[in-house]
Amino acid sequence: MKNIKFIYLKITLLFGLIFTMTVSCERDLSEDVEFGKFGTSGEVFIDGFSGGLSYDPFGDSKLDAFSVDSEVKYSGSASMRFDVPSFGDPLGAYAGATFRDASGRNLTGYDALTFWVKASQAAILNEVGFGNDFEGNKYLTTLNNVPLTTYWQKIIIPIPYASKLHQEKGMFWYAEGPENGFGYTFWIDDLKFEKLGTIGQPKPAIVNGEDLIQDTYTGVNLKVTGLTQTFNLGSGLNQTVSAAPSYFDFASSDPSLASVNEFGDIEIINDGAPVITASLAGVEAAGSLTVNSLGDFQLAPVPTRAPDNVTSIFSDSYTNSPVDFFNGFWEPYQTTLSADFQVEGNNILNYTNFNFVGNQFSNPTIDASQKSNVHIDMFIPSEVPSNMDFLITIVDFGIDQAQGGGDDTREQIFFDKSIWVSNTWITLEFPITLSSRNSIGQIIYENINFSSLGSFYLDNIYFYSE
């Protein structure tokens, strides 16, 4: 199975590792240019690139995944070719990049990004869209899990609110990993913004259209998630895209208790239960988030071990090792979501709708050969379930330093209800008993034996020696 969240985290966390190959010349933008003077061309790739575009692969992606193909095309003389690497490819773990216009374009006259696509095999394209500009991605728009076939088909990505796009630099972006471990090729042609005129019946949503209640604390900073916009394409098909917060107008039922800004950032100011709602282009968004503040938040104990004796995965007290993801959202069985937050500069992992979840650090793996123990601080913000049964698994990827290479080893630690107290940080410390711990790559948390634990917080995850 492919790991969508893994790819997206790579994109968002590795902006600083961009390798830029210039497709054509870029132009500098004068500070006094007015919105109306930006180019309005909707063409991105029609047998070649529209002027002013650069190709910027994401960090840790296969840098040469993209090329121009004059043999395979939908129409005209050329297409865009993308070669997705197989698992373990030393040149990159996935294919992913953005195509940018240095000056930006006025796209307010369009209602969709469209293209034709085919692949060398049936596949699912993880993420594709526009608005990824490496400058904040203010109007990032993503179509997820696009089915690909071996014949050409037209894909339509509706613009959530075109009136916002006065100067958009991110013309197109994609991210795709191996299919069941193996690479393949797909082609895109006639990539352009269009005014179709058939897109209508907007149905925006926040928190995936649900009315959620989330327990929280004064001083906590949260973010509105699950932001989507759905349009009917005129063919009877409803197309849903993930939309950046800046497309929405957010509101709090009581700003004295919780405020929310244009980026969907919520600040909990005082005790109470205010409701966060939103609209997009004047249409009320389905879903709401009631933030139920329970008072001041109790931070986890501050670690006191010397940094030289610690290899940290997640802690504000130490320098952390590189992490692929804290929630890989392993399909198809995982239900666990993340609602991470920050309190007074302290970052907290928050898992909700929990069944199992994993932290992965494979680039590089952790050499814990000189470390004897694991430390994890855990907090259950509600009543401890009477049937709670909790499992932590430590996975070493073996000599090949790759998951599933045939030499992986595991250590499993079971915890029952007896050690837990609700609304209190519990410190979990246990020895590493793996015979080889030179290439530790995962920590997995799991409900077992029908345990009904629904949510918890984590902090200060690290390996240490006495």
Where residue 221 falls among pLDDT bands split at 50, 70, 90? confident
**Is residue 275 located within the same domain as residue 386?**
no
**Is residue 345 located within the same domain as residue 421?**
yes
The proportion of the chain whose per-residue pLDDT surpasses 90, expressed as a percent, equals: 73
Question: Stretch 277-303: mean pLDDT, rounded?
Answer: 94
Question: Stretch 454-461: mean pLDDT, rounded?
Answer: 96
**Is residue 96 located within the same domain as residue 167?**
yes
Quote the pLDDT of residue 34. Answer: 53
pLDDT > 80? residue 129:
yes
Residue 214 host element (H or E): strand 211-218
**Is residue 311 located within the same domain as residue 276?**
no
d(CA 376, CA 410): 18
For residue 149, what are the CA distances in angstroms to 101, 119, 121, 233?
A: 30, 6, 6, 21
Where residue 18 falls among pLDDT bands split at 50, 70, 90? very low
Where residue 151 falls among pLDDT bands split at 50, 70, 90? very high
CATH number, domain containing residue 263 = 2.60.40.1080
* Residue range 235-271, pLDDT digits in tens: 889 999 999 999 999 999 999 999 999 999 999 999 9
d(CA 147, CA 291): 37
Quote the pLDDT of residue 2. Answer: 54
CATH number, domain containing residue 157 = 2.60.120.260
Q: Which of 245, 262, 296 is the C-terminal boundary of a domain?
A: 296
CATH number, domain containing residue 452 = 2.60.120.430
d(CA 123, CA 84): 11
Please give the tally of structural domains in the chain. Answer: 3
**Is residue 244 located within the same domain as residue 166?**
no
The proportion of the chain whose per-residue pLDDT surpasses 70, expressed as a percent, equals: 92
**Is residue 165 located within the same domain as residue 232?**
no
* Residue range 301-342, pLDDT digits in tens: 999 999 999 999 999 999 999 999 999 888 778 999 898 888
Is residue 321 included in any domain, yes or no? yes
Question: Stretch 84-97: mean pLDDT, rounded?
Answer: 90
* Residue range 31-46, pLDDT digits in tens: 444 545 778 999 999 9
Residue with tokens 């047998």: 47
Least confident stretch, 9-23, 66-80, 370-384 = 9-23
Is residue 201 included in any domain, yes or no? no
Q: Which of 194, 229, 264 is the C-terminal boundary of a domain?
A: 194
* DSSP label at residue 124: E
**Is residue 86 located within the same domain as residue 133?**
yes
**Is residue 61 located within the same domain as residue 173?**
yes
**Is residue 43 located within the same domain as residue 105?**
yes
d(CA 227, CA 307): 39
pLDDT > 70? residue 30:
no
Is residue 202 included in any domain, yes or no? no
Quote the pLDDT of residue 12. Answer: 38
Contact between 365 and 311 (Cβ < 8 Å): no
* Residue range(s) defining the domain that contains residue 432: 307-464
**Is residue 219 located within the same domain as residue 351?**
no
Q: Which of 296, 322, 338 is the C-terminal boundary of a domain?
A: 296
More confident of the two residues 391 and 401: 391
**Is residue 216 located within the same domain as residue 235?**
yes
Residue 397 burial (CB count, 10 A): 23
Quote the pLDDT of residue 16. Answer: 34
Tokens for 44, please give them.
């991105």
**Is residue 19 located within the same domain as residue 148?**
yes
Where residue 378 falls among pLDDT bands split at 50, 70, 90? very high
Question: Stretch 62-85: mean pLDDT, rounded?
Answer: 95
Instruction: Report the predicted TM-score, pTM, of the whole model to 2 decimal places.
Output: 0.77
Is residue 61 included in any domain, yes or no? yes
Is residue 108 included in any domain, yes or no? yes
Cβ-based burial of 407 (10 A; exposed 0-12, middle 13-18, buried ≥19): middle
